Amino acid sequence: MFAPEIAVIWLHVAVFQLPGLRCEANYLQFAIGWTWDRKPVVDHEKINVTISPGPDHSKYTVDVKFSGPILKRDPQPDDAQKGAPYPWITEYECAQAFFANEEGRYLQVIMDPYGSYQILLHDGYRAEKSYLRAASSLKANGSWWEGKLTIPVTYFPPRVTKFNAAAEHGQPLGNRSFEVLHPQDPDKHPYPDAHVVQYFQTINFYEVCPGNREAEYSMYWLDVMSAGSSITVSVAYLIVIEVAVKCVGRILS
Ligand SMILES: *[C@@H]1O[C@H](CO)[C@@H](O)[C@H](O)[C@H]1NC(C)=O
Ligand SMILES: *[C@@H]1O[C@H](CO)[C@@H](O)[C@H](O)[C@H]1NC(C)=O
Ligand SMILES: *[C@@H]1O[C@H](CO)[C@@H](O)[C@H](O)[C@H]1NC(C)=O
Protein backbone atom coordinates (compact mmCIF):
# COMPACT_ATOMS: atom_id res chain seq x y z
CA MET A 1 0.00 0.00 0.00
CA PHE A 2 1.35 3.42 -0.94
CA ALA A 3 1.34 5.92 1.87
CA PRO A 4 1.95 9.46 0.58
CA GLU A 5 2.66 10.75 4.09
CA ILE A 6 5.66 8.44 4.35
CA ALA A 7 6.98 9.71 1.03
CA VAL A 8 6.56 13.27 2.28
CA ILE A 9 8.38 12.43 5.51
CA TRP A 10 11.22 10.88 3.56
CA LEU A 11 11.45 13.87 1.30
CA HIS A 12 11.53 16.08 4.36
CA VAL A 13 14.33 13.99 5.87
CA ALA A 14 16.31 14.07 2.64
CA VAL A 15 15.88 17.76 1.89
CA PHE A 16 15.76 19.38 5.31
CA GLN A 17 17.37 17.08 7.83
CA LEU A 18 20.57 16.32 5.95
CA PRO A 19 21.77 19.92 5.64
CA GLY A 20 20.92 20.21 9.37
CA LEU A 21 23.09 17.23 10.16
CA ARG A 22 25.91 18.60 8.06
CA CYS A 23 25.69 21.78 10.07
CA GLU A 24 25.87 19.92 13.36
CA ALA A 25 29.13 18.41 12.17
CA ASN A 26 30.44 21.91 11.44
CA TYR A 27 30.67 23.22 14.96
CA LEU A 28 33.86 24.24 16.73
CA GLN A 29 34.02 23.78 20.49
CA PHE A 30 36.59 25.15 22.90
CA ALA A 31 36.96 24.76 26.65
CA ILE A 32 38.42 27.75 28.53
CA GLY A 33 40.93 25.74 30.54
CA TRP A 34 43.78 28.07 31.58
CA THR A 35 44.27 31.03 33.86
CA TRP A 36 45.65 34.08 32.02
CA ASP A 37 49.14 33.23 33.37
CA ARG A 38 49.27 29.58 32.24
CA LYS A 39 47.90 27.64 35.20
CA PRO A 40 45.20 25.03 34.59
CA VAL A 41 41.66 25.87 35.75
CA VAL A 42 40.90 23.33 38.45
CA ASP A 43 38.47 24.96 40.89
CA HIS A 44 35.33 24.66 38.72
CA GLU A 45 34.04 23.05 35.52
CA LYS A 46 35.36 24.78 32.43
CA ILE A 47 33.34 27.31 30.51
CA ASN A 48 32.88 26.34 26.88
CA VAL A 49 32.49 28.34 23.70
CA THR A 50 30.81 26.69 20.72
CA ILE A 51 30.77 28.28 17.28
CA SER A 52 28.36 26.96 14.68
CA PRO A 53 26.49 28.09 11.60
CA GLY A 54 23.44 30.20 12.43
CA PRO A 55 19.87 29.06 11.79
CA ASP A 56 20.27 30.00 8.10
CA HIS A 57 23.29 27.65 7.72
CA SER A 58 25.76 30.52 8.19
CA LYS A 59 24.92 32.46 5.08
CA TYR A 60 24.05 35.49 7.18
CA THR A 61 24.72 34.53 10.79
CA VAL A 62 27.03 32.54 13.05
CA ASP A 63 25.96 31.27 16.48
CA VAL A 64 28.36 31.86 19.36
CA LYS A 65 27.31 29.89 22.42
CA PHE A 66 28.76 30.07 25.92
CA SER A 67 28.01 27.35 28.44
CA GLY A 68 29.26 26.46 31.87
CA PRO A 69 28.77 26.84 35.60
CA ILE A 70 27.43 30.07 37.13
CA LEU A 71 30.12 30.89 39.65
CA LYS A 72 28.31 33.70 41.50
CA ARG A 73 31.41 35.37 42.85
CA ASP A 74 30.02 38.68 41.59
CA PRO A 75 26.70 40.35 42.34
CA GLN A 76 24.20 40.16 39.47
CA PRO A 77 24.27 43.60 37.78
CA ASP A 78 20.89 45.14 38.63
CA ASP A 79 20.87 47.65 35.76
CA ALA A 80 21.56 45.02 33.05
CA GLN A 81 18.74 43.68 30.90
CA LYS A 82 18.38 40.19 29.52
CA GLY A 83 18.74 40.24 25.73
CA ALA A 84 20.24 43.76 25.62
CA PRO A 85 23.76 45.21 25.40
CA TYR A 86 25.29 46.12 28.78
CA PRO A 87 28.34 48.41 28.67
CA TRP A 88 29.74 47.41 32.10
CA ILE A 89 29.45 43.66 31.49
CA THR A 90 33.17 42.95 31.97
CA GLU A 91 33.01 44.25 35.55
CA TYR A 92 30.88 41.19 36.41
CA GLU A 93 30.93 37.47 35.69
CA CYS A 94 31.08 36.99 31.91
CA ALA A 95 32.53 34.96 29.06
CA GLN A 96 34.07 36.30 25.86
CA ALA A 97 35.13 35.23 22.36
CA PHE A 98 37.59 37.08 20.10
CA PHE A 99 37.81 36.63 16.31
CA ALA A 100 40.81 38.27 14.63
CA ASN A 101 42.20 38.55 11.13
CA GLU A 102 45.82 38.91 10.01
CA GLU A 103 45.44 42.69 9.93
CA GLY A 104 44.92 42.70 13.71
CA ARG A 105 41.25 43.72 13.50
CA TYR A 106 38.97 41.71 15.75
CA LEU A 107 35.42 41.16 16.89
CA GLN A 108 34.82 40.79 20.64
CA VAL A 109 31.65 39.04 21.77
CA ILE A 110 30.78 39.04 25.49
CA MET A 111 27.87 37.46 27.33
CA ASP A 112 26.91 36.99 30.97
CA PRO A 113 24.95 34.21 32.69
CA TYR A 114 21.92 36.51 33.02
CA GLY A 115 21.52 37.11 29.27
CA SER A 116 22.98 40.56 28.67
CA TYR A 117 25.81 40.96 26.18
CA GLN A 118 28.23 43.32 24.47
CA ILE A 119 29.58 43.19 20.90
CA LEU A 120 32.59 45.31 19.97
CA LEU A 121 34.56 45.86 16.76
CA HIS A 122 38.25 46.65 17.30
CA ASP A 123 40.28 48.40 14.62
CA GLY A 124 43.51 47.21 16.28
CA TYR A 125 44.42 46.64 19.96
CA ARG A 126 41.54 47.78 22.18
CA ALA A 127 40.43 50.25 19.53
CA GLU A 128 36.76 49.61 20.13
CA LYS A 129 34.38 51.63 18.07
CA SER A 130 30.99 50.04 17.80
CA TYR A 131 28.27 48.72 20.09
CA LEU A 132 26.09 46.35 18.15
CA ARG A 133 23.01 44.25 18.75
CA ALA A 134 22.34 40.60 18.04
CA ALA A 135 19.58 38.09 18.66
CA SER A 136 20.25 36.25 21.91
CA SER A 137 18.86 33.44 23.98
CA LEU A 138 19.56 32.13 27.45
CA LYS A 139 18.93 28.84 29.19
CA ALA A 140 19.92 28.88 32.83
CA ASN A 141 19.11 27.31 36.15
CA GLY A 142 20.65 28.33 39.46
CA SER A 143 24.02 26.75 38.70
CA TRP A 144 24.49 26.33 34.95
CA TRP A 145 24.02 28.61 31.94
CA GLU A 146 23.97 28.39 28.19
CA GLY A 147 23.81 31.71 26.39
CA LYS A 148 23.72 32.09 22.63
CA LEU A 149 24.25 35.09 20.38
CA THR A 150 23.34 34.89 16.70
CA ILE A 151 25.96 37.15 15.15
CA PRO A 152 25.50 38.61 11.66
CA VAL A 153 28.42 37.61 9.42
CA THR A 154 28.95 41.31 8.62
CA TYR A 155 30.17 41.87 12.22
CA PHE A 156 33.19 39.60 11.68
CA PRO A 157 36.29 41.09 10.08
CA PRO A 158 37.01 39.41 6.72
CA ARG A 159 39.34 36.39 6.73
CA VAL A 160 39.21 35.46 10.41
CA THR A 161 42.18 33.18 11.13
CA LYS A 162 42.85 33.64 14.87
CA PHE A 163 40.79 33.07 17.97
CA ASN A 164 40.84 33.32 21.73
CA ALA A 165 38.19 33.02 24.42
CA ALA A 166 38.06 34.19 28.02
CA ALA A 167 35.93 34.02 31.15
CA GLU A 168 36.22 36.21 34.20
CA HIS A 169 34.58 36.35 37.57
CA GLY A 170 35.16 37.36 41.16
CA GLN A 171 35.30 40.60 43.13
CA PRO A 172 37.09 42.64 44.34
CA LEU A 173 39.39 43.20 41.36
CA GLY A 174 42.44 41.95 43.29
CA ASN A 175 40.69 38.59 43.73
CA ARG A 176 39.33 38.27 40.20
CA SER A 177 39.90 35.14 38.10
CA PHE A 178 40.81 35.67 34.44
CA GLU A 179 40.60 32.44 32.46
CA VAL A 180 41.45 31.96 28.80
CA LEU A 181 41.64 29.42 26.04
CA HIS A 182 45.17 30.49 25.02
CA PRO A 183 47.15 32.00 27.93
CA GLN A 184 49.65 34.85 27.68
CA ASP A 185 53.31 34.89 28.66
CA PRO A 186 53.21 36.46 32.16
CA ASP A 187 56.88 37.51 31.89
CA LYS A 188 56.21 39.60 28.79
CA HIS A 189 52.65 40.69 29.70
CA PRO A 190 52.39 40.69 33.52
CA TYR A 191 48.71 41.76 33.71
CA PRO A 192 45.70 39.78 32.45
CA ASP A 193 44.81 41.07 28.98
CA ALA A 194 42.81 38.90 26.60
CA HIS A 195 43.17 41.48 23.78
CA VAL A 196 46.79 40.70 22.89
CA VAL A 197 46.33 39.15 19.46
CA GLN A 198 49.82 37.62 19.47
CA TYR A 199 48.54 34.96 21.90
CA PHE A 200 45.51 34.05 19.77
CA GLN A 201 45.76 30.76 17.90
CA THR A 202 44.55 29.46 14.58
CA ILE A 203 40.86 28.74 14.10
CA ASN A 204 39.28 27.03 11.09
CA PHE A 205 36.59 29.67 11.00
CA TYR A 206 35.78 29.00 7.33
CA GLU A 207 34.42 25.61 8.42
CA VAL A 208 31.47 27.31 10.06
CA CYS A 209 31.41 30.43 7.89
CA PRO A 210 32.82 29.70 4.42
CA GLY A 211 31.77 33.12 3.09
CA ASN A 212 34.18 34.88 5.48
CA ARG A 213 37.14 33.82 3.31
CA GLU A 214 36.03 35.98 0.39
CA ALA A 215 34.25 38.67 2.42
CA GLU A 216 34.98 42.39 2.18
CA TYR A 217 34.94 44.75 5.15
CA SER A 218 31.24 45.40 5.81
CA MET A 219 29.75 48.85 6.36
CA TYR A 220 30.15 48.36 10.13
CA TRP A 221 33.87 47.87 9.68
CA LEU A 222 34.28 50.68 7.16
CA ASP A 223 32.56 52.96 9.68
CA VAL A 224 34.90 51.84 12.48
CA MET A 225 37.98 52.14 10.27
CA SER A 226 37.09 55.59 8.94
CA ALA A 227 36.51 56.78 12.52
CA GLY A 228 40.04 55.57 13.25
CA SER A 229 41.56 57.40 10.30
CA SER A 230 39.80 60.67 11.15
CA ILE A 231 41.38 60.48 14.62
CA THR A 232 44.76 59.85 12.95
CA VAL A 233 44.20 62.83 10.69
CA SER A 234 43.30 65.12 13.60
CA VAL A 235 46.35 63.93 15.56
CA ALA A 236 48.49 64.70 12.49
CA TYR A 237 46.95 68.19 12.31
CA LEU A 238 47.69 68.79 15.99
CA ILE A 239 51.33 67.81 15.45
CA VAL A 240 51.60 70.14 12.45
CA ILE A 241 50.05 72.97 14.48
CA GLU A 242 52.34 72.27 17.45
CA VAL A 243 55.44 72.28 15.19
CA ALA A 244 54.24 75.50 13.54
CA VAL A 245 53.67 77.16 16.93
CA LYS A 246 57.16 76.13 18.08
CA CYS A 247 58.74 77.45 14.87
CA VAL A 248 56.90 80.73 15.18
CA GLY A 249 57.94 80.90 18.85
CA ARG A 250 61.59 80.44 17.88
CA ILE A 251 61.38 83.02 15.15
CA LEU A 252 59.82 85.51 17.55
CA SER A 253 62.25 84.86 20.42
C1 LIG B 1 33.35 21.49 26.62
O2 LIG B 1 34.23 21.40 25.50
C3 LIG B 1 35.11 20.30 25.57
C4 LIG B 1 36.07 20.43 24.40
O5 LIG B 1 35.40 20.45 23.19
C6 LIG B 1 34.29 19.01 25.58
O7 LIG B 1 35.17 17.91 25.69
C8 LIG B 1 33.32 19.03 26.76
O9 LIG B 1 32.48 17.89 26.71
C10 LIG B 1 32.47 20.26 26.72
N11 LIG B 1 31.67 20.33 27.94
C12 LIG B 1 30.38 20.57 27.92
C13 LIG B 1 29.72 20.59 29.26
O14 LIG B 1 29.75 20.76 26.90
C1 LIG C 1 21.31 22.85 35.93
O2 LIG C 1 21.60 22.32 34.64
C3 LIG C 1 22.76 21.52 34.57
C4 LIG C 1 23.03 21.17 33.12
O5 LIG C 1 21.89 20.80 32.46
C6 LIG C 1 22.59 20.29 35.48
O7 LIG C 1 23.76 19.50 35.43
C8 LIG C 1 22.35 20.76 36.91
O9 LIG C 1 22.09 19.68 37.73
C10 LIG C 1 21.16 21.73 36.95
N11 LIG C 1 21.09 22.29 38.29
C12 LIG C 1 19.95 22.54 38.91
C13 LIG C 1 20.05 23.19 40.25
O14 LIG C 1 18.86 22.26 38.40
C1 LIG D 1 38.68 35.32 46.81
O2 LIG D 1 37.95 34.38 46.03
C3 LIG D 1 37.77 33.11 46.66
C4 LIG D 1 37.00 32.22 45.69
O5 LIG D 1 37.76 31.89 44.58
C6 LIG D 1 37.03 33.25 47.95
O7 LIG D 1 36.92 31.99 48.57
C8 LIG D 1 37.75 34.24 48.84
O9 LIG D 1 36.97 34.48 50.01
C10 LIG D 1 37.97 35.57 48.14
N11 LIG D 1 38.78 36.46 48.94
C12 LIG D 1 38.47 37.75 49.11
C13 LIG D 1 39.43 38.56 49.92
O14 LIG D 1 37.49 38.29 48.60
Domains delineated in the chain: 4-252 (2.60.40.1190)
Model confidence at 81: pLDDT above 90: yes
Exposure pattern of 179-209 as b/e (b: 16+ CB <10 Å)?
bbbbbbeeeeeeebebbbbebbeebebeebb
- Report pTM: 0.82
Which of the four pLDDT bands, split at 50, 70 and 90, describes residue 10?
very low
Pocket lining: 28 vs ligand 1, CB cutoff 6 Å: no
Model confidence at 4: pLDDT above 80: no
Give the residue-averaged pLDDT of 74-90: 95
Report how far residue 37's alpha carbon sits from residue 180's, in angstroms, rounded to the nearest whole number. 9
Q: How many other CB atoms are there within 10 angstroms of residue 240's CB atom?
A: 10
User: Whose atoms come closest to the Cα of 30: which ligand?
Assistant: 1
The predicted structure's pLDDT at residue 56: 78
The predicted structure's pLDDT at residue 2: 40
The protein residue with its alpha carbon nearest to ligand 3, atom 11, reads 175
Q: How many other CB atoms are there within 10 angstroms of residue 156's CB atom?
A: 26
The predicted structure's pLDDT at residue 244: 52
The protein residue with its alpha carbon nearest to ligand 2, atom 2, reads 144
Pocket lining: 48 vs ligand 1, CB cutoff 6 Å: yes
